[in-house]
Amino acid sequence: MDEGDSGAVTRISEPAPAKLNLALHVRGRLADGRHAIETLFAFCTDGDMVHAEPDEHSTFEIIGPMSDGLDPLEDNLVTRAAAALQARRPPMLDGGASLVLDKRLPLAAGIGGGSADAAATLRLLTRLWKMDPGHASEIAPTLGADVPACLLSMTARGDGAGDALTLVDDARVSGAPVLLVNPRVALPTAAVFAAWDGDDLGPLGDWREGRNDLEAPARALVPAIGDIIAWLAARPGANFVRMSGSGATCFALFDSEEDRDTAAAACPSTWWHLATHLR
């Protein structure tokens, strides 16, 4: 949080942590047509960042290493989140916000990028405009099934479409060293779900004994996912390897930071990677 000479807040920032699905079971379809899933969400200590400061008009800028190809004038979850929250402000409160998205995570990567950015925007503007956080909780499900989990950014089980959440306290998660790897290939979620074979392979119990039912269709669309999973599984100290969400990002949990960092240093330059921790 930055302050001007008068002590007034001029800019505040909010992280948009990368989301991981430690397990993801697809069980069928809900009455509204969405896929019924059972998943365990976990969040990293790193991700995108959203900045805001008061402005007479609402503006939006995208910066960062993953900003290429993103047009701030196109419809996106950040501006939709901001508009939905602003619509709930009392009529006597004028002015908008200048928003800046520092895009550090790859696009369409299965790690919640757009959903995390929308959730961070809701948290950020709730603070900036001194609004009841309940508004953000009500808006989040209207923006996407992952947005409620990203709004919490805490380890949680997701049922329904992934938006019925139960917080989980698991000592195996918090603080775990993790390496994320992506082949630099965008993989739209809708295409992966469309390729799912429709088989219900059973409920989610312990996440380490679970699976990601979207891995097979994702690998058929992006074969490099299989290469990454095999590479991660061969790293010394890697104790758990899986694809996240609908891909194409895969991840490994490690016994130690040293093992994780050694793997990160050896990661092929053609792949994007992020060495971080679980929250």
Angle between helices 133-143 and 113-128 (to 10 degrees): 160
Residue numbers annotated as active site: 19, 146
E-assigned strand segments in the chain? 2-3, 9-29, 35-55, 59-63, 96-102, 156-159, 164-167, 177-182, 238-243, 250-254, 272-277
d(Cα 110, Cα 187) in Å, to the nearest integer?
A: 8
Angle, alpha carbons 257-113-157 (nearest 5°) = 75
d(Cα 1, Cα 199) in Å, to the nearest integer?
A: 49
d(Cα 96, Cα 117) in Å, to the nearest integer?
A: 18
Cα dist from 264 to 197, 233, 251, whole Å: 34, 13, 11
